[in-house]
Amino acid sequence: MDGILVVDKPAGMTSHDVVDFIRRHFKIEKAGHAGTLDPAATGVLVILIGKATKLSSGLTSGDKEYEATLTLGKRTDSGDAEGKVLSESDTAGITEEEIRQAFKSFEGEIEQVPPMVSALRHKGKRLYQLARKGKEVPREPRRVHIKELRIKRVEVPEVDFSVTCSKGTYIRKLCDDIGDKLGCGGHLSYLRRTRAGEFTLEKSVLLDKLKSLSRDDLERRLLKI
């Protein structure tokens, strides 16, 4: 069995959890994913089965699209709602115009310092493994491209937005940086990936739906390579 499956990942599962379920449920030996989603995030997770696993590097290089919510006034060590709160600030004086100007300043080519809670490696160790032990190591900033950043709703402290960005962009870090720009801090409180490269939610299947499928049903659903 060889091909690509687009899953609408539910919140509360790691990307590896989804791959592991597919391996066990359908008795598949070789499976992986093209681009990790945080456990709290939902949406497009591209699963590669059989010979399709060889396509991983090419499929992770495409642009991504997300729907997200920034919550101002509270900064966390992970940049999202799962992390430890580092500081809290009053947001009463922040205007919508200031928020829009801050967002605008992050469009285009920018530099991001990867968060400690990430899957990048430092001397063979994942950064999140070091972060769990309370360690922080220097990280080099990386250039990323925020192709479109559009505010959809402003109800301070919450800001709903959509973003189209290049590979390697951390939306958690984007929220953290926008919060810093506004002087009040902020964190990512909601994230849904709507597109990864050419793969969209419209092509996806819910995990609960997969649970009711047979191996033959799955094979018919695979996008062939």
> How far apart, in whole angstroms, are the C-alpha atoms of residue 8 and residue 187?
23
Instruction: Output the domain CATH number for residue 190.
Output: 3.30.2350.10
Domain shared by 180 and 95, yes or no: yes
Q: What is the pLDDT of residue 116?
A: 58
pLDDT over 70 at 130, yes or no:
no
Domain shared by 143 and 154, yes or no: yes
Q: What is the pLDDT of residue 140?
A: 81
Length of the chain: 225
Average pLDDT of the segment spanning 78-84: 91
Average pLDDT of the segment spanning 11-27: 95
Beta-carbon count within 10 A of 145 CB: 15
Domain shared by 90 and 191, yes or no: yes
Tens of pLDDT, residue by residue over 160-191, are 999 999 998 999 999 999 999 999 999 999 99
- Asked whether the beta carbons of 201 and 43 are under 8 A apart, the reply is yes
Which one of 8, 38, 77, 80 is the catalytic residue?
38
Which stretches within the chain are classed as H helix? 15-26, 56-59, 96-104, 127-132, 171-182, 207-210, 215-221
Domain shared by 192 and 202, yes or no: no
Whether the full predicted model's pTM is greater than 0.85, yes or no, is yes
Q: What is the pLDDT of residue 102?
A: 98
Q: What is the number of structural domains in the chain?
A: 2
Domain shared by 111 and 17, yes or no: no
Q: Which residue range(s) make up the domain with 74?
A: 64-196
Domain shared by 158 and 205, yes or no: no
Domain shared by 159 and 88, yes or no: yes
Q: Is 192 or 113 the better-scoring residue by pLDDT?
A: 192
pLDDT over 90 at 61, yes or no:
no
Q: How far is CA 42 from CA 105, 188, 191, 211, in A?
A: 27, 13, 7, 18
Domain shared by 166 and 116, yes or no: yes
- Whether 216 is a known active-site residue: answer no
Q: What is the pLDDT of residue 41?
A: 96
Beta-carbon count within 10 A of 106 CB: 15
